[in-house]
């Protein structure tokens, strides 16, 4: 099978995509536009006050937006911020904490547990969900609910989960206003560039999917927020392509994982490939870290660079994540798997539901 040929065949690419995952990817810019409009209509006036901490609670696709919000807080935020992917909140969450409870379905058991703890601790809560128990509880407790459309896989709903959180924090003066119109236009251009109609020779997402096909990949972020995007890529490749991959971040990986490459060619892996996600304006020290790391692993793994595009941080983070969505879907087509199927996750949820 020649990836350069088959990835230009629309029938081949979509032959197992009965649930329309490619269509959902192409609709992502419009999803972001809708999510922004919904969030701008939310009245949060009564919740404008001084907070000492912001915590976003969520899991899986519902938490992915929280990672990108972290990037905005670390660049521009006025208070500390963290993402919690667990049943429990940190002990220091209190009445001066804003908790953003994110569950696309509204039924995520970990998020519902964290919601209960936030309420007990007297925290202010904003719920972002399509409905379910989370919406019911928040409404009954008098907390604002930003209701977004449901009915699609949570991992395809990044816009619906991220943009309301961004807008809410903006409304509460926790981060500066973002250039939303330019943001959506940028994503529309990306979709046209990376979509199925753009042929292999001019489509870097198809080319990277071909490079990853049949290999074990490691995804490295050259800095904190590229590392957050690398983790999003990991989840998308896991879920959509049913492919094992790993993620890590510079400079931390230079203090440990770099030594793992010493024996990597003796660990039963036929082919390794390293992908480094970059902003493009890194410091000389960070550039040197990547240069030396590439040189040290050159005999074990081929390497690829992907650079963020955009005029501001929001555009760069989200479009770089969007790039990974297309890579994961093209890789799913090459792997011959249904990108929507999550039978393994459903089996686990079913067995967990039997435990009181």
Q: Which residues are catalytic?
A: 239, 255, 349
Task: Name the helix (H) or strand (E) containing 269.
Answer: none
Residues 6+ apart with CB under 8 A from 87: 109, 110, 113, 114
For residue 203, report the phi and psi dihedrals to the nearest 5 degrees: -120, 100
Report the SS3 class of residue 156.
Answer: helix
Distance CA 287, CA 330 (A): 29
Task: Give bridge partners of residue 129 from the DSSP assignment.
Answer: 103, 147
Residues 6+ apart with CB under 8 A from 122: 94, 95
- Residue 130 tokens read as 């399509």
């Amino acid at each position: 099978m020649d990836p350069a040929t088959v990835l230009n065949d629309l029938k081949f690419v979509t032959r197992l995509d009965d649930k329309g995952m490619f269509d959902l990817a192409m609709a992502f810019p419009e999803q972001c536009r809708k999510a922004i409009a919904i969030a701008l209509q939310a009245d949060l006036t009564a919740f404008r006050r001084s907070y000492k901490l912001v915590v976003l609670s969520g899991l899986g696709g519902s938490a992915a937006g929280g990672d990108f919000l972290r990037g905005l807080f670390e660049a521009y935020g006025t208070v500390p911020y963290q993402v919690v992917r667990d049943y429990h909140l940190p002990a220091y969450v209190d009445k001066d904490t804003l908790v953003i409870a994110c569950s696309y379905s509204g039924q995520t058991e970990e998020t519902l547990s964290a919601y209960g703890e936030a309420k007990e601790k007297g925290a202010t809560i904003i719920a972002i969900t399509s409905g379910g128990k989370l919406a019911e509880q928040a409404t009954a407790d008098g907390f604002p609910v930003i209701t977004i459309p449901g009915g699609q896989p949570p991992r395809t709903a990044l816009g619906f989960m991220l943009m309301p959180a961004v807008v809410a924090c903006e409304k509460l003066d926790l981060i500066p206003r973002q250039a939303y119109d330019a943001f959506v236009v940028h994503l529309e251009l990306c979709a046209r560039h990376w979509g199925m109609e753009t042929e292999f020779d001019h489509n870097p997402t198809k080319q990277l999917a071909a490079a990853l096909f049949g290999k074990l990949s490691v995804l490295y972020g050259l800095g904190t927020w590229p590392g957050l995007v690398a983790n999003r890529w990991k989840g998308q490749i896991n879920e959509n392509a049913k492919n094992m991959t790993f993620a890590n971040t510079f400079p931390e990986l230079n203090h440990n994982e770099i030594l793992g490459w010493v024996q990597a060619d003796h660990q039963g892996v036929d082919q390794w490939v390293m992908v480094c996600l970059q902003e493009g304006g890194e410091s000389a020290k960070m550039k040197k870290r990547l240069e030396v790391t590439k040189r040290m692993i050159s005999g074990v793994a081929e390497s690829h660079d992907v650079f963020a595009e955009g005029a501001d941080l929001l555009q760069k983070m989200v479009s770089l994540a969007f790039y990974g969505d297309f890579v994961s879907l093209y890789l799913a087509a090459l792997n011959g798997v249904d990108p929507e199927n999550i039978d393994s996750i459903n089996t686990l949820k079913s067995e967990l539901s039997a435990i009181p």
